[in-house]
Amino acid sequence: MIFLKYFALANKSLSLKFNDLIFSFFDLRSFVVSLDSKFNFDSNALFRQKDILEMRDLSEEDEMEIEASKFNLNYIKLDGNVGCMVNGAGLAMATMDIIKIAGGEPANFLDVGGTASAETVKNGFRIILADKNVKSILINIFGGIVRCDRVARGVVQAVDELGLNVPVIVRLNGTNAKEAKEILSNSDVSVIAASGMRDAAEKAVEAIKY
């Protein structure tokens, strides 16, 4: 088991599961043989495991999740109709919770990460809108590493280029939030500003009714 532990650490495996182990004897030596096993690897370390990566079966994965990974976006499709674009897994979970509290259902989990650019935001919009169930989009960004003004420019660019036909609710707080609000208010794009998370969630749910 010590060997397995160090093997897992060396290969960046998150978990190893052995369902069946047998003892085998050959040439006066004994061996422990696994009849069935499962390995779960850290996706950030797959570049070290080219032989493992070659066994990846994309047909077993969601098409839009694969597309999102090309842009370093973490995306999981859900069954609701309120699209979510946030930065940070914790904020994403909180956003989905408050959408449900407001009477809606989140359509996805999409985390743009801490290095979101205008291009990242545009690709996020494109991926969210690939889901025909999405009737409104809630953008909830806390500007820490990522600056709110950069996200705001991405929103303006995405709305201009993609020609969105669903309501977009934006809540920006943190670094350069004031500048971001000015960018949105001075643009020609139609977005709904929100002052807080609850306000944003309620507006996102309410917008679907119209």
Return the pLDDT at 3.
Answer: 42
d(CA 112, CA 6): 33
The backbone torsions φ and ψ at residue 97, rounded to the nearest 5 degrees and listed phi first, read -65, -45
Structure confidence by residue, pLDDT tens digits, 184-193: 888 888 888 8
> Is residue 7 pLDDT above 70, yes or no?
no
Between 148 and 47, name the one with better pLDDT: 148
d(CA 71, CA 13): 24
Structure confidence by residue, pLDDT tens digits, 55-114: 777 787 778 888 888 888 889 999 999 999 998 888 899 999 999 999 999 999 998 877
pTM here is 0.75
Structure tokens at 72: 């370093």
Query: DSSP readout, 86-138?
Result: ESSHHHHHHHHHHHHHTT--B-EEEE--TT--HHHHHHHHHHHHTSTT--EEE
Between 93 and 162, name the one with better pLDDT: 93
